Amino acid sequence: MPDWSQTGRSEAPAGYLEAAIAAGSGSARQGEVTGGIDAALGSDLLPVPSASFTRNTFDFIASGKPHAVAAALALGREHVIPSMFRAFLARMAVTEAQAPSFHYYLNRHIHLDEDFHAPLSLRLLTALCGGDANKWREAMAAAEAAVNARILFWDGVLKALPSQHAQAA
């Protein structure tokens, strides 16, 4: 199911970038990395929390265990994003009038993840694990690792915020 922006364009990762730039988080150095994901993760362009989180994600993929990948997706993303994005909307100091694309992006993903991605991802996980207790154990370990990686990522983001630097001073 394609995602569509407010303007009717297909929404892809570029839509996220557009929304982030509209919210004031664009970078003059975007697009400088060439040479693949390893080069990007090893460059100084990516904040450490982002690189660590992305490496964690690729570790699930490299595990060769589809049930672990599905668990990380289902329980480490699709089921946590809606409440996380709702909290962002409730607490952030950026109004919808200031960043309509960003608000639209968050609200759209709350809807998609909650109503479509989360239920489908659980069906996928259930199909991949079936009655195999070992796969379920590995899946739960992967889900826990994915949630912990997300927590470390957001803790790193919080620490990097200018407001946190002002409070520490």
Give alpha helix (H) positions in the chain: 13-22, 36-42, 48-62, 66-73, 81-91, 100-112, 118-129, 133-160, 162-168
Q: Residue 45 has what pLDDT?
A: 83
Residue pLDDT, tens place only, 16-33: 556 655 656 555 455 555
Residue 104 lies inside a defined structural domain of this protein: yes
Q: For the chain, what is the domain count?
A: 1
Residue 75 lies inside a defined structural domain of this protein: yes
Question: 4 or 106, which is more confident?
Answer: 106
Residue 61 lies inside a defined structural domain of this protein: no
Residue 168 lies inside a defined structural domain of this protein: no
Q: Residue 6 has what pLDDT?
A: 56
Q: Report whether pLDDT(15) > 80.
A: no
Residue 57 lies inside a defined structural domain of this protein: no
Q: Cα angle vertex 46, ends 169, 26, to 5°?
A: 80
Residue pLDDT, tens place only, 30-82: 555 556 788 888 888 889 999 999 999 999 999 999 999 999 999 999 999 99
Block residue for tokens 């989180």: 53
Residue 141 lies inside a defined structural domain of this protein: yes
Q: Which of 11-15, 117-121, 157-161 has the lowest mean pLDDT?
A: 11-15
Tokens of 41: 């993760």
Domain that holds residue 113: 68-151
Is-contact 124 66, C-beta < 8 A? no
Residue 17 lies inside a defined structural domain of this protein: no
What average pLDDT does this structure show over 84-97?
A: 92
Q: Which residues lie closer than 8 Å to 76 by C-beta, 6 or more apart?
A: 142, 143, 145, 146, 147, 149, 150
Residue 98 lies inside a defined structural domain of this protein: yes
